[in-house]
Structure formats: C-alpha cells, structure tokens
Amino acid sequence: MHPLFVFISMIALLRVEMLLSYLMRHLLLLVRRLCCQILDQLEVMVGGPSWTVKLGRRDSTTASHTLAETDLPGPFDPLDRIIPGFANKGPSARDMIALSAIAAIFSLLLLSSMQCHAQISSTFYDLTCPNALNTIRTSVRQAVSAERRMAASLIRLHFHDCFGCDASILLDETPTIVSEKTALPNLGSARGYGIIEDAKRELEKTCPGVVSCADILAVAARDASTLVGGPSWTVKLGRRDSTTASHTLAETDLPGPFDPLDRIISGFANKGLSTRDMVALSGAHSIGQAQCFLFRDRIYSNGTDIDAGFASTRRRQCPQEDQNGNLAPLDLVTPNQLDNNYYKNLIERKGLLQSDQVLLSGGSTDSIVSEYSNSSRTFASDFAAAMIKMGDISPLTGQNGIIRTVCGSIN
C-alpha cells in the first residue's frame, strides 16, 4: 500500500476518533441532563400507577435475618431461581416481570440522583469535559506570565466570590441586578474578570454549557497559587452559577482592611471557617498590592504596632492627601512569591494593612502567626486545606443555579 495512502487513512481515522469522542461527551451530558429533569419531576410526583391499598396488617415481634438473606432475589440470580422465588410467595412469573420494572426504574433514579444531587467532586468533569482543567490552566498561565500581580488578583477574586462560591461576583450591572462589582470591597480593586471570561470562552468551544464560572474561579485560584510558588490542592468541582448577585452581602460579609480582630474572626466563623483557617487564608497577602487610602492612617499613626522605618518607606508613595490610588506591595521582601514571609513581616510590625497587623496584637492568633513564620511547610499545608474548605461554602449544585454561557451575564 502506498505510504501516502496510509498516512491519509491514519489522519481520517484520527478525525473520526476525535468526532466520536466529541459526540460521546455531548451524549453523556444530554443523558445526564435528561435524567436530572426526570428526577426533578419525580421528586414532586413519581407518575406511576395507583392502587387501592388493603389495610389491617399488624407488626411482628421479631425479625428473620436468615430469611432476609435467602428469600429475597439477588442481582446475580438466574431466571430459573428468580421465578420460583417469587412463586413461593404467590406472585406469578408475569407479576415478577412487572415488579422488576420498578427495580430498574429506581436503579436509574439512584444513578440520576447521584449525578444531580451529588456533592462537589474533583472528578466531576472527567467524562463531560476532560480537558477543562488544562484549558483553565492555560488561560491563567498566560495572564500571570503577562502580569505577575494577576495571580494575587485571581486568588482574591475567588475569595471575594466564595463567601458564596457561586460566581455572583462576575455578574455585570443590569436593570434587575445590582452588581457585586460595585460593592465597596470590590470597587476599583477586584480584578481578573477578563481572565475568567477568556477561560470560559475557550471551554464553550469544546464543552458548551458544561463548566460553570464558579468552578473556573476555583481552579484559577489554585493555578494562580502554584504559578507564584504557592501550594497546590485538589479542587472540588460541580458548582453551578447563581442567577443573581448580592451587593448588600458583598458589603457586609467580606472582611474589611480596618476591621478589628474579633470582627474578622466572627466573620469567618459565620461561614464555617475557623480562626486558624482565617490566619492561613490571610497569608494570601504575601502577594499583591494595596491602594494608598487603605493603609494611609496606619503609616501616619505613629503607633507602637508599626515599625518606624517601614512606615517612613511607605509614606514616600502615599502622601497624607491625594494620590489615593497609589499602589504598594503588601510584602516588600518577596512581593511576587506566595510564601510565609507575610507572617515574618507581622512579627517585625511591618504588616501593611491594619487588618493584617491585628493578627499579631496580643490576641488568640499570635501563636498561629508565630508558627507559620517559622514553618513554610505548615503554612502551605494549612493554606491549601483552608482554600478547599472555603471552596465548600454554600455551593449551588444539582438543579440549583445554572451554567452560564458568559460569566458576566445570565443566559
């Protein structure tokens, strides 16, 4: 056979294989959606036949473990064993076949329920969009390569969304939606929306209507961490996107840069996060930058909780008046590395934000700060665990929420 013909045949087979793989993914998605819709209806009304129930039975005074193991039909029984098993109890072969249909239906419902109502799982897209994680990672890598600071922005974006974990932070303003983007903790500071949209756009090309924007945010935060030397973790998947935003909750629930320690601790506790989780997550401030107006009062306070030389250095780019938007790195030593230097800064009274330095102010968090400053491994492990825990906060799953086509708007 001519080599050229062999080569052309191989290309043709490869294209057919790719097409079949594509069709199989979408068939599985269609079946899953159909099963979920059926289950959703059956939760209200199964829709099977009705009958008149005879009454007057009485309850036994004992149980029969042996009969339960020998009399009930098993999933591997041959037909000649199933038929007499039913006959011994009175039902005919026709009765047996009719009753078997019920077992098949509820087996399907069980499988459907697992897909529609299962908790989030790291394998959620293995069949429906196997390249989802690689696609997201590519978008994040390109963004962080172009601007190192974007890693901090993506982690922060996930954090600000995950006092709900439903991608509500991504929704734009509309006549019916008051966007969280304009809430005070996000206004003029939350960044990275375009990176999430880029990843979503690529995913829609290969897996339309499958991967949620909430999951993209969660994966992007993990990838951003690893790209700047931080820890990695297994991201649970299967979140769905909200159909609305909560501007009010974004302003009240998110911790602020001027909050006292007791308010920060209680704010995290209200979301199921421990004090240790909070201190670990605060370590994300080892990367990124803050605007002058957020730390001006601290560097001009002449307080005992700030190093004088550190305050003097920061004043150069942050005058007492004007230039509110001037940026300063949260960590002067390793500003582009997600590490435990943040905690070393606190011990030296060089926390840039007041809400950072209060973690070392004679309170319950002092010992945790000291522990993390002495052990980068402990910090990395606890940071990863806290990020996983934060990602579990009130996700929309099953039939709740939607899968947005564009992250900034409702379908």
**339-358 burial: b if 16+ Cβ within 10 Å, else e:** bbbbbbbbeebbbbbbbbbb
**Is 160 one of the catalytic residues?**
yes
> Residue 13 phi/psi, 5° resolution?
-65, -40
For residue 313, give the amino acid letter. Answer: T
180 assigned to a ligand binding site: yes
> Residue 316 phi/psi, 5° resolution?
-60, -35
255 assigned to a ligand binding site: yes
Grouping H, G, I as helix, E, B as strand and the rest as coil, residue 42 is helix
Q: Which two tokens stand for residue 65?
A: 């473990």
334 assigned to a ligand binding site: yes
339 assigned to a ligand binding site: yes
Catalytic residue among 26, 117, 158, 160: 160
**Other residues' Cβ atoms within 10 Å of the Cβ of residue 368:** 21
d(CA 145, CA 135): 16
395 assigned to a ligand binding site: no
Q: Enumerate residues 6+ apart whose C-beta is below 8 A from 102.
A: 48
- 333 membership: H or E segment, kind and range: none
Quick check: 160 and 390 in contact, CB under 8 A?
no
Q: What is the DSSP letter of 180?
A: G
For residue 328, give the amino acid letter. Answer: A
Quick check: 360 and 283 in contact, CB under 8 A?
no
259 assigned to a ligand binding site: no
What's the length of the chain?
411
244 assigned to a ligand binding site: no
Annotated binding residues for Ca(2+) = 161, 164, 166, 168, 180, 331, 334, 339
Annotated binding residues = 161, 164, 166, 168, 180, 255, 285, 331, 334, 339
The residues carrying an active-site annotation are 160
Annotated binding residues for substrate = 255
